[in-house]
Structure 1
């Protein structure tokens, strides 16, 4: 027999090329091993907020995604003022539609639409296509709101109609516009049928003139404005934190296009939209989205509300005065950096300040008098170089002077290693950053090979924030999305065992990106895919959920004893932790091999283990995916099992992640 401490075993495993085609041969005998968990000596505390989510407005994740608004370009402020809108002429109707900005309803967004009907026929007006179609569900009430005023003459009846395939009417209603000044209208629509490609039409029922602005159609079930099915999936993750709003949208192509949080709070109708950072940056995906704008209906207040709804810590990221270094690399001179630093200080006041402070009052006036309890703030996204370190120093000094309790996160750049990475780490360590944000996008083999990555990191100084990571398999064809395969998710699970095992170094971690529309994506893979009606959790989603919902309290030592015939090519990755609340040992085992692994389990410090254990297994073929609209191929299965005592044998399926919760009874002295 030979005894291998698990950190050493992983160092051996790291030398093996873990491409799917190079997994252990099917005919190779899987070794017998003993897995020993020492429940007597709990180690590092696991951050209760360790497993979180990262939200970036990419792949239509905000407008047309998590934000439940169905109307695209609702205020006619896109560069193409009528983008998303089309003229409606039914049965010889005649009229004109014009964009104007005279005496607007909303001065901050001055453009509005004037409809003039000479002969309404069976309806003259305008329609909206939504975001690749409006997902209309039978029985799901929708609230239509808009600003309108009539022109000279008699009052005008404005009819609202939801239409589906073949012009089928799904719902309808009308409002009477009888005021020559702007007035707000509210109408409830109840669809009788379901249609994934619905559209909204607003038509005049007689001759006349009406001006329209800020047209909105939202599901009544969208609490705080969030799409219900996507919110359920996020809530089921039980995320410890939400990082927002990006990502590259923080930086912008140039500084004028960067994300500025102050423009995203206050009255929703007064927030000015701007082009999205991902409109024409295809990231090798081959998709152009001319209609990809940011309305900022989902702004910083809504992000904080999202965190409150999910019970997650908010983790905002702010511009440090550097635009995307893959694009323009525009930089604000150091002597002009003060407005950027003030934005950070004001954000802390917005989140945490008393409602009598200037920015605390803005929060209160938006409906949230109590502070949001901000604890983290990231300076920059993927910035690098000495210029970034200079800027980080200015932010760090100003923030710590006023708010020493805020944990400040620095950037290790876009790479997983190399000279720039090492320079940034050294600089941030010298500047006493609280956490350093590392990003990894790589093939599954990298994640298998780097499960040991943090075993040798320094135990003092800045902690690690694994802010963006995802395994990237090869594309099946040019222009096709990288698959969200089980192989990718399995490799992420193996890597995550190393994150948890090194919880004294790694404090926060989040997969990226979070959301993607199947009809309007710029990046792949992603954690959750959706269309106008449905959403699908990927295999990677289930891995994240199982780790998050089984995060436990303190790391427990693990030892693996292999038989003399065994080799490290068994592909076993594991971590164990003590759940001090439920008094359980939580064991996570990844078996990347192609055959089941028979393990003898021993728990020291438990005489005896008693009662029922909880077993959750996630396993599938390496190429299996969960596609929107299709039956899922990868889902976890959970069962209760009998625990005979502190020693028993268990077979762990091939190519699987297993979570085993073992009830623990302490040894008597």
Structure 2
């Protein structure tokens, strides 16, 4: 896109023209004092002639890529509140992190053993409560506490389902509670654990009395005895369709209207060691039976509550086609010999049967038992992460399975990065006869685990926002399956302007629109004269709009304090016509939607 200006030039001129109809991004400049702003004129000719052969953009052009990175799934999209719910983290029987002990050494002793009733998760937690007989326990009890993923978001009048398994040497009571600052109980209940060597499952629904965004889950008692606990889960009752997806994060993804979902990775699929690669069979079936594994590439444990089944369910809920990425016998540091690949091949075939097979098939029956007797619409798989078979299959269409501007130009997600990505996407749109699919990555970032930045959606326990890179994708949500219109751009700024045009049916009103997208990557405003040839019907002013993404500084970002600082601004287009002028602000993405 040509040389980039120095950072001293990053402060952009403010808007101050009558035809900039979106909300001004800075105080208006006195036009008499703005003569230094050179308004260049470029011409965009759009050929909408109906007798030309139509070139449709592929139906699956824009999708999303979900990877377990940045705690984007565990502690993010997947609404489980408890971190390390089975005390299995790191495959070390003494590793209960991030659980902590409530009480001193004279009151309670906590350890782990291998007495769990779950065959693939043998670790259980043992609490020896030493107080409560001759030495009274503290009135608030002793026990264990889990902070979740940097705090649990507990909201007033919301309900939460608590499931755990327990046994004890004597009949006694346990109190289960969400606690806030100063150990204030936000919600609590008491359960009686019988004297038994058999494990019992306890299911309780708690309704919060207050809101606290950094709560913890506590299991406490004031009764002396020996207790065992395992597989402790806490989930909001309200998740998307009851499928376990955090509502507001799901909605952010849904609003991108993705046509496909690539999952679950990424190098997450491979691992640094093959022993830590994703093994899909360990991620299906009852959640208590899933052993979890060390996400060694991104340095944290995952319980695999979001597994293969949940990925397929997420794609279905998004009305997107799943693209399942499976391990091909390769990790970052290890590789299986070709002669030893047969188990990997069979594992992939079994995975396909799990998704597509009838409910009477071996693996299809496992899916059916999980509540989905109907096969999932799995049509595509990816053999390994970002591997290629061009030598054996030349001429394949391209799948741009990961793109983003990174490092110093991107920060945590800057306007500069977003405008550059928009130009890139327009280029892919113009070459969509070769490029069939594209997705941004990474999709999610928990602000407490910045392994990879920038990302499309940033969140913590209770708030979220889209980066400018997220909002840029919304300019392309209608591109999949649209008709590409040939364009000719006449400009003396070829290194800073790029444009494309499509013919589409509006998803909200089913009306016909011509959408013209233009990126101005220059430091000065541009006057763009648009000329549309071959229109059968005239352009309607009522219903035509202009949408602009820009800001007052190239490095502007969104944040929890200013989540809407850099977002598209839509306005009516009073001069909408087949021949019209549009002002393109510096460093901006502009979409002109003409109702025809």
Offset, 1:89: 2.3
Q: 1:463 aligns with which of 388, 393, 397?
A: 397
Query: Are residue 169 (structure 1) and residue 176 (structure 2) matched?
Result: no
Offset, 1:56: 1.1
Q: 1:113 aligns with which of 125, 144, 166?
A: 125
Offset, 1:51: 0.9
Q: 1:372 aligns with which of 372, 376, 381?
A: 376
Counterpart in the other structure of 2:435: 506
- For residues 181-234 of structure 1, give each alpha carbon's deviation from its aligned partner in whole angstroms, at most 9, with x where no partner exists: 211111122222222221111011423332211101111112311112211111
Q: 1:519 aligns with which of 424, 433, 448?
A: 448
Residues 46 and 205 of structure 1: CA distance in aligned 2, closer, same or farther (over 3 Å): same
Residues 200 and 560 of structure 1: CA distance in aligned 2, closer, same or farther (over 3 Å): same
What SS does structure 1 have at the residue aligned with 2:72? coil
Counterpart in the other structure of 2:354: 350
Q: Which ranges of structure 1 fall in alignment gaps of 5 or more residues?
A: 1-13, 281-291, 384-410, 412-427, 434-460, 476-480, 665-669
- For residues 551-587 of structure 1, give each alpha carbon's deviation from its aligned partner in whole angstroms, at most 9, with x where no partner exists: 461110001234xxx3435x11111111156321111
> How many angstroms apart in 1 are the aligned matches of 2:225 and 2:432?
68
Deviates more, 1:172-181 or 1:234-243: 172-181
Counterpart in the other structure of 1:398: none
What SS does structure 1 have at the residue aligned with 2:96? coil
Query: Are residue 18 (structure 1) and residue 12 (structure 2) matched?
Result: no
Q: 1:362 aligns with which of 359, 366, 372?
A: 366
What SS does structure 1 have at the residue aligned with 2:416? helix
The two structures have a TM-score, normalised by structure 2, of 0.88
Q: 1:585 aligns with which of 508, 514, 526?
A: 514
Q: Residues 63-212 of structure 1 correspond to what in structure 2 (within 5 A)?
A: 63-78=74-89, 79=92, 80-89=94-103, 94-102=107-115, 104-117=116-129, 118-119=131-132, 120-122=137-139, 123-151=141-169, 153=170, 155-178=171-194, 180=196, 181-212=198-229
Offset, 1:143: 1.1
Maintained 8 Å contact 1:150/1:209: yes
Counterpart in the other structure of 1:622: 554
Offset, 1:93: 7.8
> How many angstroms apart in 1 are the aligned matches of 2:168 and 2:12?
75
Offset, 1:279: 4.2
Counterpart in the other structure of 1:483: 412
Offset, 1:594: 2.3
> How many angstroms apart in 1 are the aligned matches of 2:538 and 2:119?
72
Counterpart in the other structure of 1:639: 571
Maintained 8 Å contact 1:313/1:375: yes
Q: Residues 374-389 of structure 1 correspond to what in structure 2 (within 5 A)?
A: 374-383=378-387
Q: Residues 233-632 of structure 1 correspond to what in structure 2 (within 5 A)?
A: 233-280=252-299, 292-324=300-332, 328=333, 330-383=334-387, 411=388, 428-432=389-393, 461-474=395-408, 482-549=411-478, 551=480, 553-562=482-491, 566-569=492-495, 571-580=496-505, 582-606=511-535, 607-612=537-542, 613-620=544-551, 621-632=553-564
Deviates more, 1:24-33 or 1:77-86: 24-33
What SS does structure 2 have at the residue aligned with 1:320? coil
Deviates more, 1:629-638 or 1:126-135: 629-638
> How many angstroms apart in 2 are the aligned matches of 1:93 and 1:139?
38
What SS does structure 2 have at the residue aligned with 1:474? helix
Counterpart in the other structure of 2:231: 214
The two structures have a TM-score, normalised by structure 1, of 0.79
Residues 634 and 248 of structure 1: CA distance in aligned 2, closer, same or farther (over 3 Å): same
Offset, 1:23: 8.5
> How many angstroms apart in 2 are the aligned matches of 1:494 and 1:87?
53
What SS does structure 2 have at the residue aligned with 1:193? coil
> How many angstroms apart in 2 are the aligned matches of 1:656 and 1:301?
40
Maintained 8 Å contact 2:270/2:330: yes
**RMSD (Å) for aligned C-alpha atoms:** 2.2
- For residues 216-253 of structure 1, give each alpha carbon's deviation from its aligned partner in whole angstroms, at most 9, with x where no partner exists: 11111123111122111111111111111111111111
> How many angstroms apart in 2 are the aligned matches of 1:301 and 1:179?
37
Q: Residues 650-665 of structure 1 correspond to what in structure 2 (within 5 A)?
A: 650-664=582-596
Maintained 8 Å contact 1:105/1:147: no
- For residues 608-642 of structure 1, give each alpha carbon's deviation from its aligned partner in whole angstroms, at most 9, with x where no partner exists: 22242122211112111011344431111123323
- For residues 433-472 of structure 1, give each alpha carbon's deviation from its aligned partner in whole angstroms, at most 9, with x where no partner exists: 6xxxxxxxxxxxxxxxxxxxxxxxxxxx211111011101
Offset, 1:49: 2.0
Maintained 8 Å contact 2:176/2:218: yes
Deviates more, 1:511-520 or 1:105-114: 105-114
> How many angstroms apart in 1 are the aligned matches of 2:357 and 2:340?
26
